[in-house]
Structure 1
Amino acid sequence: MKKILFCLMIFASTGIFAQTSFRYGLKLGADYSLTALQVPNTLDTKLTPKAGFWGGGFVEMSPNSAGNKFKLQLEALYMTNNFTVSNTGYDDYKNHLDYLSVPLLAEYFVRPKFSLNAGPTFNFCIGATQSQYDGNSLKTVTNNISDQIKSFQVGLAVGATYYIFQGLFLDLRYNPFLGQANKNATTEYNKLTPSTATLGIGYKF
């Protein structure tokens, strides 16, 4: 009986994949940090968002038929998150975070050229640096702060895609992370919550 059930599962999964249409593509663009920093009210601290860039590839899966309005999209993206932290009476700290982001999105095509997209993202921090101007050495000093940032965080992605011509499209998205990014929860800077807004262009083959 177990062998029969196993064979049926293999047959069913093979049938599903046989009916699924796959398309691949590339995308790139600019991002703008919306990262939030919560510190004690006694500190006059300000976070200034900066622009960055992102890019990568994706595979789109259309169950049953290529004309299905519901699709799944798996992506692998390199993303940056840049912002400056300023303290009155102190130097500015320029932060640069690098992420490998893996979004898994559900797409719904409202119209043939326009889709709404949403789903979870799995974000791996692959680098983090902090730069500041040193008045003694009269130069900018950059330090590796990767050990202070969580190596993995789950997030969300919500956005829309508009197809300009055939496979060429514009992509707009909001990407908030869930929870704080700092490993050290005992410091006063323990409420760093990354998020970005992205705008890009891509092509689906």
Structure 2
Amino acid sequence: KAQPAVGDFTWGAKVGFNATNITNCDKNKLSLHLGAFAEKRYSDLLGASAELIYSRQGFRSKDKANDVKYKTRVNYLNIPILAKFFVWEGLSVDVGPQFGFALNAKQKAKGNGNTAKVKIKDFNVFDFSIPIGVTYRVEDIFVSARYNIGLTNVFDGGVNNKNHVFQLSVGYNLSSLF
């Protein structure tokens, strides 16, 4: 079967890559995410899922005047709670809120023959975003593409610096093994 039957509760694991950035920044940073999910199918058209995801996010930037390149990384524990609208056999459109908790933030600066690494202290611990995506499932394996639209600033201060995260994941329904 391409997707869970009505009434089914499934759970499993997922892993994938991120292309992350913040508002008004130069380049994406590629990284990974991994975690667990639980999903309930309520009807032919509607389901819901909750996930617990470790996500390495960040961005790359460059100070052209001083020829310095920066790589900034913020590690998050994200909890997306998604409504799943089943639009075709095996295919769902997923949308909902995501609550993120920043675990730490680091920056690496490289230029003029020097490299410096620092821990960033002025980041917001809480991140709120809206994930919108699609999932295609064949039996117990699924592939998911998702875009997370950040609604809160990553760093303290008045500058607009919200997360923008594209995720591509593959997952497995582990509940079918038990």
TM-score bracket, normalised by the shorter chain, equals: 0.7 to 0.9
Cα distance per residue 1:123-148 (max 9 Å; x no partner): 1111110111264xx54221000x21
**TM superposition shift of 1:175:** 0.5
2:149 to 176, 184, 190: 176
Residues 157 and 192 of structure 1, relative CA distance in 2, 3 Å threshold: same
Contact 2:69 2:111 survives alignment (8 Å): no
Cα distance per residue 1:23-68 (max 9 Å; x no partner): 101111111014213xxxxxxxx622121111100100223xxx64
Name the residue aligned to 1:108. 85
Contact 1:117 1:159 survives alignment (8 Å): yes
1:131 pairs with 2:104: no
AA at the equivalent of 1:158? I
1:50 pairs with 2:12: no
Equivalence map 1:133-172=2 (5 Å):
133=110, 135=112, 138-145=113-120, 147-163=121-137, 165-172=138-145
- Counterpart secondary structure, 2:27: strand
**What's the C-alpha RMSD, in Å, of the aligned pairs?**
1.8
* Partner Cα distance (2:156, 2:104) in 1: 14
Equivalence map 1:61-140=2 (5 Å):
61-63=40-42, 68-90=44-66, 91-133=68-110, 135=112, 138-140=113-115
Report the identity percentage.
24
Name the residue aligned to 2:3. none
Instruction: Compute the TM-score of the two structures, normalised by the length of structure 2.
Output: 0.87
Contact 1:36 1:47 survives alignment (8 Å): no
Runs of 4+ in structure 1 deviating by more than 3 angstroms, as ranges, are none
Extract unaligned runs of 5+ from structure 1: 1-18, 38-45
Larger radius of gyration: 1
- Counterpart secondary structure, 2:40: strand
Cα distance per residue 1:138-162 (max 9 Å; x no partner): 54221000x2110002110000011
Extract unaligned runs of 5+ from structure 2: 1-5
Contact 2:21 2:60 survives alignment (8 Å): no
* Partner Cα distance (2:109, 2:91) in 1: 44
Name the residue aligned to 1:203. 172
Equivalence map 1:31-42=2 (5 Å):
31-37=18-24
* Partner Cα distance (2:33, 2:81) in 1: 17
How many residues in Structure 1 have an aligned counterpart in Structure 2? 168
Q: Which has the higher strand share?
A: 2
AA at the equivalent of 2:40? M
